[in-house]
Amino acid sequence: MIDATASSKVCYTASNIKEALSLIRRGRVYAAVIIPHSFEADIVSGVTTKVALYNSGANISTNGFIAKDIQSVVTTFGAGIELQRGATLAEVMPIKFNKHILFNPYLNYAYYIAPCFMSMMTMIFTLLATVYAVAERRCSRATELMSRVAPTTLIMSIFSLITLLVLFRILGVPLVGSKWAIVFSTLFFIVVYQAIAILFVGITKSRHFSLSLGGGYSVLAFTFSGLTFPTMAMFPPLKWASYLFPFTYYMDVLVDQTLRGSSSINTIESIGYMSLFLLLPLLIRKRLC
Amino acid sequence: MLKTIALECKIIFKNGGVVLILILAPIIYATLYSSCYAKQVLERVPIAIVDNSHSHSSREFISYLSASPYLNPLYTATDITEAKELFYNRKIYGIVYIPKSYETEIIRGQQAVVSLYCDASYFLMYRQVFQGVVGVISTFNREIGIEPVVDFRSHNLFNPYLGYGTFIMPAILVVILQQTLLMGIGVVGGIWSRRQLYKGKSVMQTIVSKAIVYGAIYAVIAAYILTIHYRIFGYPTNGTIWTCIAIIFPYILSVILLAITLSTLYKRPETAVICTLWTSIPILLLSGASLPPEAFPHWMHTIGKIIPSSSAVTAFIRAQSMGADITDVGVEVIRLWALVAIYGTTSYLALKKRMSGRTTKSRTSNLSSYNDRHTLL
């Protein structure tokens, strides 16, 4: 029955717990199911028997899949025997629940990590390329600054539109919301990170230093977006820090539009927050030109 | 050789950018990431309840939901549409729907059906809501149903509360060491290139000197992370110190040799930052620490093995989190030593090629004019 589950497969039979633990430590298996000697005798004689699952917590994603699979195997197995003994379904399981998955019903990790991953790349390259272009030397006028920023805007826009095409047309990431909302927010996202790049150039002395700083900032965005570990569970100062990354708002837009199909008001709100970052270069305009 | 060591140290410590990447970044990243995950467990995810039964039994059920550590029934909605609206506004991450017939069915001895609407666009939220509701329902069933055939106990080994930090941080810490080394040595390589320091040096001496300098710095950083950092954030330390050293030593060495190889390619310090930075997240994914290797294409996993962190992450997690000894992680340690041999050879060849002096005239003049403008770096 375990082999019939969605994610688990029996690969080894161990003679005792120690051997099973050793298999886990060697990375051969993620979990061990312990079935006692008296298993069959207990069932035949109508005594409650015991089954234990030793599940490695070192990887919580495998842990979750295995826990769910084994739990459902045990429940189905037990219910089957009780029904054979003549119990009614209502006695075995007085409350049943129906699960409805509202968003991302495919439970596909890739649908959710791929857009995020591509956006990380867009963000990192936009930020670094803009720093690289702007930090060369001081601009004499704002228009000169613009002309140095513009090629990056153009190239990254084309790049991001191609990635969007790949994501939705080739990889088949669902798109339940508006595609124009995604296109607009993606292009806006690029410009916002360019504004941040300009800020980094303005506050640092050398190009190399602003690249390191900008790079550090962009890599952190992934954690602070709360996609993997929700910001809700972070300590308040770190939760507030997550508002300092436009990536967070952009991810909200992506999740809203690709998986949830929520109304555009939520998206407009996120874009509104993102636009505040456009004001940042104004803070250091004296140092730039 | 002492001269080369002294030169390398001078380049590192006289340059704010290099110190930032090589020494401060691993510590800052380690601390920041760990602090983000410091609460470890996502608790009390807000959910909404649509109770159409309005009965004693349904209220009892709701009180059970409130008692679950995973759930926080923050809102009571009159219908599903209202609850969905809360969903879109990110006020809640799950809906429990109790139908009108709930109490009558229980009293009549029929099976009552409760619906759970959950959100799989955020996996951890989904998991906590799902687990919370399933837990409550099975407790309920045990109380009012007949005695089950199988008494099922689930034990989580090595990370009993399934803390997110305990799960992901050991992998991130190992990857941080690699990425900052790759970037730091790359930047210094760019500086060598710009100042034309490759001329007239012995290949072996350069490799050994660099390995000593970076090895010494990273021995201190790794020791800090494994002792003080681990203590502060309470990560599992089930491995013996010798197993950890047996993994970390070839790991750092292979990373340094890989970094030396790559550093010969950079003509400018900035290039190293740009070329290394974006690789961090793909490399973390390839290590198989967050998504298990079984979940992505086999060829990717195989190719990933040329990156030192892929072997080091799994070996380190098994040693430090699971308490594996050296024989349990033998395969990975041997693979790391193989990488030491491979990258030792490539760094030798790359440096030899670099030192044979094939810098074109035009580039040299370009670089020197560039140097005039940026004397700081």
Enumerate the domain spans of chain B. 2-38+163-373, 45-144
Query: Could you read off the pLDDT tens digit of each residue along chain A, which spans 289 residues?
Result: 788 877 888 888 888 888 998 899 888 899 999 998 888 888 888 888 888 999 988 888 888 888 888 888 888 888 888 888 877 777 777 888 888 877 776 666 777 778 888 899 999 999 999 998 888 766 667 788 888 889 999 999 999 999 999 988 888 888 888 888 899 999 999 999 999 998 988 888 778 788 888 888 988 888 888 888 888 888 999 989 999 999 999 998 888 888 887 777 888 889 999 999 998 888 877 776 6
Distance, CA of B129 to CA of B124 (rounded, Å): 9
Distance, CA of A186 to CA of A159 (rounded, Å): 11
- Least CB-CB distance to B17: which of A121, A125, A208? A208
- Least CB-CB distance to A53: which of B154, B164, B377? B154
Our CA-based measurement puts residue B208 at a distance from the nearest CA of chain A, in whole angstroms, of: 27
At B230 the pLDDT is: 92
pLDDT at B77 over 80: yes
**Residues of chain A contacting B162 with CB distance shorter than 8 Å:** 57, 60, 63
| CA B324, B329, B333, B334 torsion-angle sign | positive
Q: In this complex, do B88 and A99 lie within 8 Å of one another by their Cβ atoms? A: no
**Residue B376: pLDDT band by 50, 70, 90 thresholds?**
very low
- What are the distances in angstroms from CA B180 to CA A76, A274, B175, B206? 50, 30, 9, 20
To the nearest 10°, report the CA torsion of A240, A244, A250, A253: 30
**Residues of chain B contacting A71 with CB distance shorter than 8 Å:** 134, 152, 154
pLDDT in tens, B245-284: 999 999 999 999 999 999 999 998 888 988 898 898 889 8
At B361 the pLDDT is: 42
Q: Which residue of A has its CA nearest to B135?
A: A71
Pairing of strands B94-98, A49-56: unpaired
At A139 the pLDDT is: 66
Tally: H helices and E strands in chain A: 13, 3
At B374 the pLDDT is: 41
At B247 the pLDDT is: 95
pLDDT in tens, B156-169: 888 888 888 898 99
Enumerate the domain spans of chain A. 2-92, 109-288
At B371 the pLDDT is: 41
Answer for the pair A97, B114: CB distance below 8 angstroms, yes or no.
yes
- Number of CB pairs, chain A paired with chain B, less than 8 A apart: 291
Q: Name which residue leads in pLDDT, B333 or A67.
A: B333
Any B CB within 8 A of A89 CB: yes
Of B32, B126, B150, which to mutate for an interface test with A (greatest number of A Cβ within 10 Å)? Answer: B150
At B357 the pLDDT is: 63
pLDDT in tens, B198-236: 887 888 999 999 999 999 999 999 999 988 999 999 898
- Residues 137-196 in A contacting B (C-alpha not used; CB under 8 Å): 137
Looking at residue A46, its amino acid is G
The three-class DSSP label of residue A59 is coil
Q: What is the CATH number of domain B45-144?
A: 3.40.1710.10
At A138 the pLDDT is: 66
